């Protein structure tokens, strides 16, 4: 069983896709052990509570400086002992210590086809505004591992979405979510859970020898 935690900052539609995926069996062998937000008002926390998942807020506003926040955040993560950390619209730069401690065990969903429209300053609606301003005809979403850079980690899954003449940033954002993000994020978790289960079986067998 893959124990995951989901980090969120806003509406939490990707979190909802994960909750639904686990409930309906599209994501197998996975348990959501907790949801952490940096923002007490995030609707994502409501979604977690409604699904009976422990929901926590660790806000920079409650700490005197960045280091104190980073330490508290990492402590909250560690206390849940996750196998995998899923960043689902989490708009906080992760402490480097956390990236080192959880290497290849943190994944992020980004609303474009990396390496387009990614990196510092590209998040949420801004990504879709940039895609429309550039006039691309195809955009999409990417699931990738998190490393020390911004959106630079190894790519796990991508899905393309057509841009329409009539699109606004909001309509494009919605279509990218519906057609790409809510599809590839649950798929990626399911695949990682399958690998994790295989690994555990293998380790158990090795232990018996």
Scanning 3-11, 47-55, 78-86, 188-196 for contacts with ligand GAR by CB under 6 A, the matching segment is 3-11
In the stretch 72-111, what mask flags binding to ligand GAR with x, by CB under 6 A? ----------------xx-------------------xxx
Q: How far is the CB of 207 from ligand GAR (least distance, A)?
A: 39
Site string for ligand GAR, 113-152 (x = CB under 6 A): ----------xx--x-------------------------
133 half-sphere exposure, CB direction, 13 A CA radius: 8
Annotation says 128 is catalytic: no
- Provide the sign of the torsion angle of the four alpha carbons 30, 31, 33, 39, taken in this order: positive
Please give the radius of gyration of the chain, using alpha carbons only, rounded to the nearest integer: 17
Cα→Cα distances 118→96, 139, 155, 172, Å? 20, 12, 13, 16
Mode of pairing for the β-strands spanning 155-162 and 138-145? antiparallel
Sequence-separated (6 or more) residues with CB below 8 Å from residue 155: 114, 142, 143, 144
Nearest residue (CB) to ligand GAR, 34 versus 111: 111
**31 — phi, psi (to 5°)?**
-125, 130
Catalytic site residue from 110, 128, 144, 196: 110
Name which position in 2, 6, 12, 73 contacts ligand GAR (CB under 6 A).
12
Q: What are the residues binding ligand GAR (CB under 6 A)?
A: 8, 10-14, 44, 88-89, 109-111, 123-124, 127, 177, 181
Please give the positions annotated as active site.
Answer: 110
């Amino acid at each position: 069983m893959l124990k995951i935690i989901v980090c969120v900052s806003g509406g939490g539609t990707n979190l909802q896709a994960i909750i639904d995926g686990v409930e309906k069996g599209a994501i197998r062998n996975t348990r959501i052990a907790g949801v952490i937000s940096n923002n007490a008002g995030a609707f994502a926390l409501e979604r977690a509570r409604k699904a009976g998942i422990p929901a926590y807020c660790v806000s920079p506003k409650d700490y005197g400086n960045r280091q104190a926040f980073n330490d508290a955040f990492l402590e909250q993560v560690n206390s849940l002992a996750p196998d995998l950390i899923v960043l689902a619209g989490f708009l906080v730069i992760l402490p480097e210590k956390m990236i080192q401690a959880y290497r290849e065990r943190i994944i992020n969903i980004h609303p474009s086809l990396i390496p387009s429209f990614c990196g510092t300053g590209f998040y949420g609606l801004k990504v879709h505004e940039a895609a429309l301003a550039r006039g691309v005809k195809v955009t999409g979403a990417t699931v990738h591992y998190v490393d020390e850079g911004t959106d630079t980690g190894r790519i796990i899954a991508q899905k393309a979405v057509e841009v329409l003449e009539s699109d606004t940033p909001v309509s494009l954002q919605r279509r990218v979510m519906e057609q790409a993000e809510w599809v590839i994020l649950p798929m990626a978790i399911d695949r990682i859970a399958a690998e994790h289960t295989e690994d555990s079986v293998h380790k158990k067998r090795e232990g018996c020898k």
